[in-house]
Structure 1
Amino acid sequence: MSSPFSNTVYVWQALFLREALDRFFGSRAAWAWLLVEPAMHIGFIGGVWGMMRRNSMGGINIQLWIIVGMLAFFLFRRTAVQTLHALDCNKAFFAFRQVRPFDVALVRASVEAFSMFFISLFILGAAAMMGLDVLPDDSLKVLLALSGLWLFGLGYGLVTSVCMRMVPDSGHIFQILMMPLYLISGTIMPLRYIPLPYRDWLLWNPLAHGLELVRLGFFSNYHTLTVSFSYLYYWALGSIALGLALYRGLETRLVTQ
């Protein structure tokens, strides 16, 4: 007789396969758009800094600075957005008692991590072919920072998906919030360029810590502000704990509404 844990693993496997097929082959250009979107952002921001004749940022190549920060932010953003819509996109599966709301959210976030891994490899590989040194100085630090960003994206998605389920129109607000987060997290402009006291205010944003930690992992000589793994993980684990509590307390409403 199979155990509850093995049944859960089977459910995750089936959901993962379904989500992966839908994400990569749901339309003719689905897989291409996953790659084109971050590449367009990287190319545009790189072009803007190029016109300003800026070649380095914090002591590292400007193109690598943009690529690393952009890929890190996209990992968070895509994880958060896909988790946000997990409940609405998988309503039919709740007819099976083995499928719980958290299962679909976790699997959706995992598919995004899977896709961003290969997208990052492709973009960094293209940068290496252009002569850039893309190997990180501290791979463990990069992995820990990216894991923190992914966990925060999962937690953000869990909390906001419940809010959107209770108040459907709030989903538009949460997606709009991604634009200011894009601007104030150090994705396209270093936070050290922001004058005081606004710079200290922006450091309340855990995404700023995550992006700068990823860059520090890639470039040990990178000059940045004081950032913290503990602060990033406090936010990540705290948001996941809140999301799990909401999922647990409102499970019946999440499934039936």
Structure 2
Amino acid sequence: MARSGFEVQQAAVKALFLREIRTRFGKYRLGYFWAILEPAAHLLVLLGIFGFIMHRTMPDISFPVFLLNGIIPYFIFSNISNRSVGAIEANQGLFNYRPVKPIDTIISRALLETLIYIAVYILLMVVVWLAGEYFEIVNLLQLVATWSLLVIFSCGIGLTFMVVGKMLPETQKFLPILLKPLYFISCIMFPLHTIPKEYWSYLLWNPIVHAVELSREAVMPGYISEGVSLEYLFISSLSIFFIGLALYRTREGAMLTS
């Protein structure tokens, strides 16, 4: 019995996903440990630099929990976007098999990054809880919706740069350059309400600000971020994703034959 198109794609994504795990972690003896080490080291460095200042600025809020809910969403966005751009080159030989399409490589990479950072997030949240920091999952549905939309947004950015990068290879260099300033303007290290309101209209164009602040709202009782919106994150994520899909649809044949 012939398989449906969806079943074929599902099998291709599963095979690529397992290949990504082996490629990513198989060559290191402590491969899985490195996935935890990067965000954990990042957290410790920022806690050391800003911990005392932020404790005085936000005395009623756990700064490690605040920071974790900024760092992990940013890493999800950054890693999915960056790794999507290089997905074609890394799997070029596999496109000789008809069932494997460039978009399958992005789906498998996005799935792997999402699962890695969900595991890292849970582990580090448990560690800070055991260290005596207080948090409470106020709105699990909001947290799941926020992260799901962030993954869709990241795939859309990665898909767009992957397609444009195949037409104009120089543009692949721009994405890492664009991601660096985003780290400093996405409320990773500071809450939105510490910024003067006249600048909010500029910051709130950035969907990552909405994702970060909504994540904090979901796990920190009493933390309410005025100005952010799940609706805006939903509209911007789907818009970017459909732009990426439209570009991909027009260029898929050219990418397979190049």
Q: Is residue 2:242 matched to residue 1:236?
A: no
State the secondary structure of the residue aligned to 2:175.
helix
* C-alpha contact (below 8 Å) 1:82/1:157 kept by paired residues: yes
Q: Distance in 2 between matches of 1:56 and 1:71?
A: 22
Q: 1:73 & 1:176 partners in 2: Cα distance?
A: 15
- Hey, what does 2:179 align to over in structure 1? 178
Could you tell me which residue of structure 1 aligns to residue 104 of structure 2?
103
Deviation at 1:58, TM superposition (A): 8.3
| Structure 2 portions without partners, runs of 5+ | none
Residue in 1 that maps onto 2:146: 145
Look up the equivalent residue of 2:113 and give its one-letter code.
E
CA distance in 2, matches of 1:162, 1:7: 23
Give the C-alpha shift of residue 216 in structure 1: 0.6
Per-residue CA distance 1:45-94 (angstroms, 9 max, x = gap): 11122243625638421121011111121111111112122112111111
Q: Which residue of 2 aligns with 1:3?
A: 3
Q: Distance in 1 between matches of 2:232 and 2:147?
A: 14
* TM-score (normalised: structure 1): 0.93
Q: Which amino acid aligns with 1:79?
A: I
Corresponding residue number in structure 2 for 1:164: 165
Distance (Å, rounded) in 2 between the aligned partners of 1:219 and 1:17: 35
CA contact (8 A) 2:74 2:183 kept: yes
1:192 counterpart residue number: 193
* Secondary structure class of the residue paired with 2:155: helix
- 2:80 maps to which residue? 79
Q: Distance in 2 between matches of 1:18 and 1:143?
A: 27
Q: Decide which moves more: 89-98 or 4-13.
A: 4-13
Q: Which amino acid aligns with 1:147?
A: S
RMSD (Å), alpha carbons:
1.7
Q: Quote the Cα distance in structure 2 between the aligned partners of 1:97 and 1:42.
A: 43
Identity, in percent, stands at 31
2:94 alignment counterpart: 93
CA contact (8 A) 2:156 2:241 kept: yes
Instruction: Say how many residue pairs are matched.
Output: 257
The aligned counterpart of 1:39 is: 40
TM-score by structure 2 length? Answer: 0.93
Which residue of the partner structure matches residue 245 of structure 1? 246
Deviations 1:87-109 (A, max 9, x none): 12111111101111111111111
Structure-2 separation of matches of 1:57 and 1:3: 56
